[in-house]
Structure 1
Amino acid sequence: MAGQNRFFRGGLHERSVIKADGRPAGTCVFISHKWEDKEVARLVAMELQALGLDYWLDVDDDDSMAAAREGNEAAMCNAVERGLQNSTCLLALISRRTRGSWWVPFEIGAARAYSRTLVFLVHKDVSDRPAWMTLGTVISDRLDLDSWANAIGAPTRLVEVRKAAISRDIDSVLPRVRILR
């Protein structure tokens, strides 16, 4: 079964239930990115969806988009916190542009406050890493992505996904194998 955006166009799907202990029901990945990387974030979201993982992406959330249009930072913070409350982990897209982001570090800090797992997907054009990436799992290539997806229980078999055209789009973001120094 394909994953879904739990917050697509503002409507919470039935799988976005928060359990009595305050944790979200089922795996959901909050995708953190700098606005200029929104198309790359969409590619990552499509890959997660193909793997059968639910996700939250601000560009598909009506509350986030309304807050951005209005320049309402408080409403944006509320939308981010709602997304994190319904997510089990935060996947931060680390690109060359991330260095100039105010929101990515805020979202990482908020995810830590909610005790969410941190995952850092390092774009293939990035060679250096911020020190705070030691706080989570680093995905630097396709092998890392596959391993992480398996570890969090991606329901779709990776072989099936890798045959799909959508999966080849992620090659523009992650190399198949990379060694970071």
Structure 2
Amino acid sequence: MPVFISYRHADRPYAIAICSRLIQANIKTYFDVLDPESQTTDDITGVITRYITASTHLIAVVSGKTVPPWWVPFEVGEATISNRRICSFQTEPTELPLYLDKWPKLSTDKDLDFFIDAYREEVATKRSMTLDSISESLYGTYRRNAELFHDQLKSRIRRGF
């Protein structure tokens, strides 16, 4: 159940810190800097799409610099199509696109800990799986489980515990 980390290169230090924190929590990640294929391919779109499909969760690192480039919105869109668990990690106070309101917004280390707890709960209850392991009959259940993950994590972030 890897977590795909989406970010703009200007936000790389935040993405590195999030990746490190997830790895410390024994959570497998996909981070393009650590992937030799993404550094050498002529088909970066195909590589990104494949890794998003193979992931179960996506954290989009967002800031005021995120909006103009296309990659982060593209990656969030790909994750949406696959009903991935999506969260944004806001690096600074700034107005972000409204489409990100649908998913939990992380902005502190504590929020990231909430994400880790929610991720572990999904692993323990086996509510999350990769898209290629889902039959058509399970697709609706998977989508509902994704919505449950988002709702519960948003609620926990609002409560602060």
- TM-score under structure 1 normalisation? 0.63
- Which segments of 5 or more consecutive residues in structure 2 lack a partner in the other structure? 122-156
Deviations 1:22-78 (A, max 9, x none): xxxxx21100001222232111110111111110011111221113xxxx4xx1111
- Equivalent residue for 2:51? 83
Measure, in 2, the Cα distance between the counterparts of 1:77 and 1:62: 15
Which of 100, 109, 114 in structure 2 is aligned with 1:133? Answer: 100
Matches within 5 A, 1:1-181: 27-67=1-41, 72=42, 75-123=43-91, 125-153=92-120
Q: CA RMSD in A?
A: 1.9
Measure, in 2, the Cα distance between the counterparts of 1:31 and 1:103: 12
Which contiguous aligned blocks of 4+ residues in structure 1 show a shift greater than 6 angstroms?
A: none
Deviations 1:82-131 (A, max 9, x none): 111221011000122102221000000011111111110111x2332220
How many residues were matched structurally?
Answer: 123
Measure, in 2, the Cα distance between the counterparts of 1:88 and 1:108: 13
- Which segments of 5 or more consecutive residues in structure 1 lack a partner in the other structure? 1-26, 155-176
Q: Larger helix proportion, structure 1 or 2?
A: 2
Measure, in 2, the Cα distance between the counterparts of 1:54 and 1:122: 21
**Does the Cα contact within 8 Å between 2:32 and 2:39 map onto a contact in 1?**
yes
Secondary structure, in 3 states, of the residue corresponding to 1:52?
coil
Q: Which amino acid in the other structure matches residue 66 of structure 2?
A: T
Measure, in 1, the Cα distance between the counterparts of 2:12 and 2:94: 20
**Does the Cα contact within 8 Å between 2:67 and 2:96 map onto a contact in 1?**
no
**Does the Cα contact within 8 Å between 1:98 and 1:104 map onto a contact in 2?**
yes
Q: Which amino acid in the other structure matches residue 118 of structure 2?
A: A
Secondary structure, in 3 states, of the residue corresponding to 2:74?
helix
- TM-score under structure 2 normalisation? 0.70
Secondary structure, in 3 states, of the residue corresponding to 1:152?
helix
